[in-house]
């Protein structure tokens, strides 16, 4: 199974943001990625699909523009909801705009499980909502950790891959790390089934091996003029 993965496209009409980001270029980068890799089995975005410009109609237009190009490609698609997506949309609206497949959920392919987590919560358990987000305070609610534990305990699952916007890797800048990441890493390590963990959010990208498991943070697509995405064979 070939996964085509990108993250942090931050697509919007801004030419430059935060000095190094080129959000406007992300439409062309998504287009180039889909042209270069038309035969993937699934397309994944690890979140921050768009950047909130404070104008709801523009946010919708930017999301629909990317989704139109993605639908043309005809690949099954899902996107995690990044903190910037949470600024722009409620969960229900993002779900509707991006095709009705916003995590958390689990996809099964035989004995392989793809586990998509949603850390868009504050550590008091409240869900990220527009206007109610501290990006440095992200958290996996207990019910998600329990679901992670249950999926990994299923004897029918032999190999698992975990996808999450914010970071479980303890090696990235600390304000990007999910507050209870250590609890999730302990479940992942104890299972013996997780082959890799993929994250976005930390725009520089980072790779580490923790408890013998690769923790891969993809470089943000919106950074600089060069494109950034990855083809992963699982």
CB-count exposure of residue 17 (10 Å: 0-12, 13-18, 19+): middle
Q: How far is the CB of 222 from Fe ion (least distance, A)?
A: 7
Residue ranges that bind Fe ion, judged by CB under 5 A: 8, 48
Q: Are 199 and 164 in contact (CB under 8 A)?
A: yes
CB closest to Fe ion, residue no: 48
Minimum distance from CB of 31 to Fe ion (Å)?
Answer: 20
Q: Which is nearer to Fe ion, 48 or 169 (CB)?
A: 48
In angstroms, give the least distance from the CB of 84 to Fe ion.
Answer: 6
* Residue ranges in the chain assigned as alpha helix (H): 26-36, 56-73, 83-88, 91-97, 142-153, 181-191
Instruction: For the CB of residue 24, give the shortest distance to Fe ion in the complex, in Å.
Output: 15
CA dihedral 33, 35, 29, 53 (to 10 degrees): -100
User: Which CB, 151 or 222, lies closer to Fe ion?
Assistant: 222
Report the residue number, 8 or 169, with the smaller CB distance to Fe ion.
8
CB of 138 to Fe ion, least distance (A): 12
Q: Which is nearer to Fe ion, 8 or 118 (CB)?
A: 8
Query: Would you say 43 or 222 has its CB closer to Fe ion?
Result: 222
Beta strands in 126-217 (DSSP E): 159-164, 194-199, 206-210, 213-217
Measure CA of the first residue to CA of the last residue in the chain; give whole Å: 5
In sign, the C-alpha dihedral spanning 202, 3, 24, 35 is positive
At 66, list the tokens. Answer: 């990317």
1 or 18: CB nearest Fe ion: 18
To Fe ion, the closest distance from the beta carbon of 26 in angstroms equals 11
Give CA–CA dist 108/115, Å, rounded: 9
Spell out the residues 6+ positions from residue 191 whose beta carbon is closer than 8 angstroms to its own: 149, 152, 153, 160
């Amino acid at each position: 199974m070939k996964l085509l993965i990108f993250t942090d496209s931050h697509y919007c009409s801004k030419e430059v943001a935060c000095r190094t980001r080129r959000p406007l270029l992300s439409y062309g980068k998504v287009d180039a990625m889909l042209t270069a890799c038309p035969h993937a089995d699934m397309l994944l975005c690890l979140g921050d699909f768009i950047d909130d410009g404070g104008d709801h109609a523009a946010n919708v237009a930017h999301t629909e523009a990317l989704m139109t190009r993605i639908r043309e490609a005809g690949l099954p698609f899902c996107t995690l909801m990044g903190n910037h997506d949470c600024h722009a949309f409620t969960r229900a609206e993002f779900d509707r705009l991006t095709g009705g497949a916003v995590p958390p959920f689990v996809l099964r392919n035989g004995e392989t499980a793809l586990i998509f987590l949603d850390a868009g919560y504050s550590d008091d358990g409240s869900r990220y909502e527009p206007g109610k987000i501290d990006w440095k305070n992200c958290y996996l609610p207990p019910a998600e950790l329990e679901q992670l534990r249950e999926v990994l305990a299923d004897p029918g699952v032999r190999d698992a891959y975990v996808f999450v916007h914010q970071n479980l890797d303890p090696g990235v800048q600390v304000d990007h790390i999910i507050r209870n990441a250590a609890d999730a890493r302990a479940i992942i390590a104890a299972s013996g089934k997780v082959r890799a963990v993929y994250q976005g959010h930390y725009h520089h990208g980072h790779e580490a091996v923790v408890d013998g498991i690769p923790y891969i943070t993809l470089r943000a697509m919106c950074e600089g003029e060069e494109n950034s995405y990855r083809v992963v064979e699982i």
